[in-house]
Amino acid sequence: MQLLCESLACERGGRRVFADMNFTVSAGEALVVTGRNGAGKSSLLRVIAGLLRAAEGKIELTGGIEESSLPEQAHYLGHLDAAKPSLTVRENLTFWTNFLGAPDEAATDAALDAVELGSLADLPAAYLSAGQKRRLSIARLLAVKRPLWLLDEPTSALDAPSQGRLAQFMREHLAGGGMIVAATHGPIGLDAPRELKMGVTA
């Protein structure tokens, strides 16, 4: 399986954010996207996730499920933790597993346990701290198996043990043939991932 991005360009508000981006990510590989504020890291992830239209270029996922689109084979974790405040922690994750087409009660509970939210499963999400909300988002990655993880600053708001657990989840995902594209301003706990520096002119 491979993600291929070729001659990719993106415009926002009529302004060119990036152009001529070329890279591949193969099964078992992580690509860390770095660059200054405004370099276009989040925009790139959103273009790959199908949430923004590319101004130019092509994006392909080869070797995946033929009848599924790229967004259907990817998880996108953005800056905002999409948690409905009035639903409980478990109800939020159940909403997502239904929305993503893979409802599974056992997998939902196992994912909550893995991110150490099992004891808070019946608490309304409104009461979660920032880091706990982030862990609820991360539980989506575990509850529904998808090969491509698109992670925007995934460690933000996480304490050190939670960062360590996320790194372990990422390593297991890669060991199982998964792929990761992660935008970050700092280390995310992976050993020597490939790096794509944005906003750098040669």
Ligand X SMILES: Nc1ncnc2c1ncn2[C@@H]1O[C@H](COP(=O)(O)OP(=O)(O)OP(=O)(O)O)[C@@H](O)[C@H]1O
**Residues binding ligand X (CB under 6 A):** 12-13, 17, 35, 37-43, 183
Residue with Cβ nearer ligand X (42 or 162): 42
- 152 in Cβ contact with 78 (< 8 Å): yes
Q: How far is the CB of 53 from ligand X (least distance, A)?
A: 13
Residue with Cβ nearer ligand X (35 or 147): 35
Tokens representing residue 80 in the block: 């905002």
- Give Cα separations from 40 to 11, 12, 34, 46, 198 (angstroms): 10, 10, 9, 10, 7
Complete edge-to-edge strand list for the sheet that includes strand 56-62: 15-26, 2-12, 56-62
- 79 in Cβ contact with 42 (< 8 Å): yes
Please tell me whether residue 157 adopts helix, strand or coil conformation. coil
Q: How far is the CB of 35 from ligand X (least distance, A)?
A: 5
Residue with Cβ nearer ligand X (40 or 147): 40
Please tell me whether residue 163 adopts helix, strand or coil conformation. helix
Q: How far is the CB of 46 from ligand X (least distance, A)?
A: 8
Q: How far is the CB of 143 from ligand X (least distance, A)?
A: 26
Residue nearest to ligand X (CB): 13
Q: How far is the CB of 126 from ligand X (least distance, A)?
A: 26
Residue with Cβ nearer ligand X (120 or 152): 152
Residue with Cβ nearer ligand X (47 or 138): 47
Which positions ≥6 away from 15 have C-beta within 8 Å?
none
